[in-house]
Amino acid sequence: MNEIIKQKIKELFFKNKGYATTKQISDKGINRYYVSTLEKSGFILKIKTGLYKWVDYDFQYNFELVDVFKIVPKGILCLTSALAYHELTTINPWQYEIAIERSSKVIIPEYPPIKLLYFSQKQLNIGITNIEVDGHLIKIYDIEKTICDCIRYRNKIGIDIVKEGINEYIKRKDRNFNKLMKYAEVCRVQKILKQYLEMLV
């Protein structure tokens, strides 16, 4: 492969913090044939149709998490995935749980493992915070919204995980019970949340 073209493509990936689309490459006047050549040679990895990652880019944190949000750019990290990020559970989730709007249509590749949760607009758009991972912005629910969502999905993720999450939340100095109860109202879990709190506090 022409080393000059390869270097030009590599610079584009590094400028975009490790990722590039076939359109971005084509816009540089580079034939898409070179994308296929780089993929076959192991220099780049296909994340989804039209999107690639430079394999040897110096990802410092969790490159898979960035991959997930390149696949589902409008998604929000939630449930046990958010619990783990906020250090509210000892479990290590085997899949990435991502909240999206109910009318969204997303094609999920075989890897990484992604579980989509379809939320109403009202429940989707509260409690969102942004974090930066290797220069890429990722949306995640804050600790209070995460607790409320876990209560909503308690029968799917497990009661023990919910109890552990609430117990760890209570220990935190940055907890905000007013915000927690506000979110609980929106998520319609006030009664159940109060029962958990009475049992654990």
pLDDT tens for 18-69 read 999 999 999 988 888 889 899 999 999 999 888 999 988 887 766 688 999 9
Q: Which of 108-112, 120-124, 173-177 has the lowest mean pLDDT?
A: 108-112
Round to whole Å and give the CA distance between 131 and 134: 10
pLDDT for the residue numbered 20: 93
CA atoms within 13 A on the CB side of 119: 26
- CB contact set of 185 (below 8 Å; sequence gap of 6+): none
Reported pTM: 0.84
What's the Cα-to-Cα distance from 168 to each of 83, 103, 147, 176, 180, rounded to whole Å? 10, 34, 10, 13, 14
201 falls in which pLDDT band (50, 70, 90)?
low
Tokens of 2: 């022409």
Round to whole Å and give the CA distance between 161 and 151: 10
Round to whole Å and give the CA distance between 95 and 88: 17
What's the Cα-to-Cα distance from 50 to each of 23, 31, 65, rounded to whole Å? 7, 14, 18
134 falls in which pLDDT band (50, 70, 90)?
confident
User: At which residue do the structure tokens 């552990």 appear?
Assistant: 164
pLDDT for the residue numbered 1: 63
Round to whole Å and give the CA distance between 35 and 174: 47
Higher-confidence residue of 41 and 1: namely 41
